[in-house]
Amino acid sequence: MRQSTSALALFMGAVAAFQCSSFKTTITVSAPFYQPAFAPFANHYQSVALLNAVTARDASTAASPFKGAVNVVETFSISAEYCTPTAYQHPAHLDVQILTHGLGFDKSYWRSGGDSSGYNYVRAATDAGYATLSYDRISNGGSSLVDPYTIQQAPIQLAVLEAITSNYRNGTIHPSVPKPSGKVFHVGHSYGSILSHALVATNPSLSDGIVLTGYSTNTTWLGEFLISTDFHLAKENQPQRFGNRSAGFVTWPDELANQYIFLSYPHFDAAVLAYAETHKYPFSVSEVLTGGVVPYNAANFSKPVLMISGDADLIFCGSDCHGILEQAAPLFPGAKPFETYVQPDTGHGMNLHYNASGTYAVIQRFLKDNA
């Protein structure tokens, strides 16, 4: 087992050969949200009571925690970052990867540890000749903080990804970002993979290929993830960071729960786990419970699809992904190609393991070979 290092030494690596511009963009979306059938939480006893209900043996036949859908029009400020290889003089001609993070993170998941870190996905993608466009999903990072019971739900998060992609393709996302002439790929992690999958099921023309990391379409073990979080109120868990947030924002309780959910021992550095815990973001109860209402039948998508997960992914594979990822193939009957890959010695948080660079290499090679 490797020796744990300081957080500073851990993230050292070669000099970064990419440059980034950070910006905020305003988008307006029209999408449905589902009206909660449960009252806003007054305390953590009520959040845990809902957790009891949605993970009970009869949860699938019990009354839904949501009522009917209502369409809304909302405007958000989205914090984003556009990165390109330093040596490339014509970024508009680059193929781009639009990166969507999962629950518990913001867009920094894709640049864990800084510019020269070996855990930095943006570095790997730009080294391979791609541009990247990452963004904070609503209520994460620098993006708009919204109502966690109503607005922060899967259909609205999907609409945000669609709007970001459309604006980028149209050259209207921000003056600092050129209109692309190359291909546009989507790379997601976990909940970000749910959204990237739903994007090509809803609007297949928006993407030239998708990579779904930390993901499968088997939800058998979702309850284990929910239970491990205790639906711990974020305002109580990290009051200095989230003390002013609604009780509708929840998180997992501590570093050990973080390890249980995201990491495979002994294939990570303790400093990485500590970093992930101190940089975590809460998720909304409604967000996680509406993950199944977005469309998944991508029959009209004919571009490349790669589904890649760690062999010990707890959330989507019950800690053994062998034979699980292939189950998604019927949802992508027209994909050219549909491929799966199980990364060894890796848990759900793929960017946080010693061999993250191996994951990155598989992704870049797939896109180069098939796009």
Which two three-digit tokens encode residue 56? 């009970």
Q: What are phi and psi of 67, to 5 degrees?
A: -100, -155
Residue 100 forms beta bridges with which residues? 135, 188
**Does the pLDDT of residue 349 top 60, yes or no?**
yes
**Paired strand residues for 29:** 74
Confidence bin at 332 (pLDDT 50/70/90): very high
What is the token pair recorded at 304?
């490349």
Which runs of E-coded beta strand occur in the chain?
Answer: 18-36, 66-85, 96-100, 131-135, 184-189, 210-213, 232-233, 249-251, 283-284, 305-310, 338-343
What is residue 4's DSSP assignment? P
Positive or negative, the CA dihedral 305, 309, 314, 317 is positive
Cβ-based neighbour number of residue 106 at 10 Å: 20
Residue 89 pLDDT greater than 80, yes or no:
no
pLDDT of residue 304: 98
Tokens of 274: 């500590």
- Asked whether the beta carbons of 349 and 214 are under 8 A apart, the reply is yes
Handedness of CA 71, 75, 79, 85 (dihedral sign): positive
DSSP symbol at 182 = S
Q: Which residue has the tokens 């990364």?
A: 343
Residue 311 has pLDDT above 70, yes or no: yes
Q: What tokens appear for 59 in the block? A: 């949860």
Measured from the Cβ of residue 130, the count of other Cβ atoms closer than 10 Å reads 25
Whole-number Å distance between alpha carbons of 99 and 195: 11
Averaged pLDDT for residues 289-300: 96
pTM of the model: 0.94
Residue type, 258: N
Q: Which of the four pLDDT bands, split at 50, 70 and 90, describes residue 10?
A: very low
Q: What is the pLDDT of residues 41-55, one digit of tens each?
A: 999 999 999 999 999
- State the average pLDDT for the chain: 93
What token pair was written down for 332?
A: 């992508």
Could you tell me if 66 and 37 are in contact, meaning their C-beta atoms sit under 8 angstroms apart? yes
CATH assignment, 7-370: 3.40.50.1820
Secondary structure (3-state) at 34: strand
Q: Is the pLDDT of residue 13 over 90?
A: no
Q: 74: which strand partners? A: 29
Is pLDDT at 133 greater than 80 in this prediction?
Answer: yes
Quote the percentage of the chain above a pLDDT of 70. Answer: 95
Cis link prior to 266 (omega < 30° from 0)? yes
Q: Is the dihedral of CA 50, 53, 55, 59 positive or negative?
A: negative
- Percent of the chain residues past pLDDT 90, beyond the cut: 89
Cα–Cα distance list, 90 to 38, 80, 95, 131, 310 (Å) = 52, 20, 11, 11, 35
Q: Are 357 and 124 in contact (CB under 8 A)?
A: yes
- Report the C-alpha gap between 283 and 249 in whole angstroms: 5
Whether the CB-CB separation of 76 and 27 falls below 8 Å is answered with yes
Enumerate helices (H) and strands (E) in the chain, giving the number of each.
Answer: 13, 11
Specify whether the CB–CB gap between 203 and 232 falls below 8 A: no
* Residues 178-193 pLDDT 10s: 999 999 999 999 999 9
Residue 93: what pLDDT? 82
In whole angstroms, give the CA distance from residue 156 to residue 71: 10
**Which tens digits make up the pLDDT trace of 60-69?**
888 899 999 9
Q: What pLDDT digit, counting tens, does each position of 233-274 carry?
A: 999 999 999 999 999 999 999 999 999 999 999 999 999 999
pLDDT at 149 over 70: yes
pLDDT of residue 16: 63
Beta bridge partners of 66: 36
- Output phi, psi for 329, to 5 deg: -55, -40
Evaluate if residue 152 carries a pLDDT over 60: yes
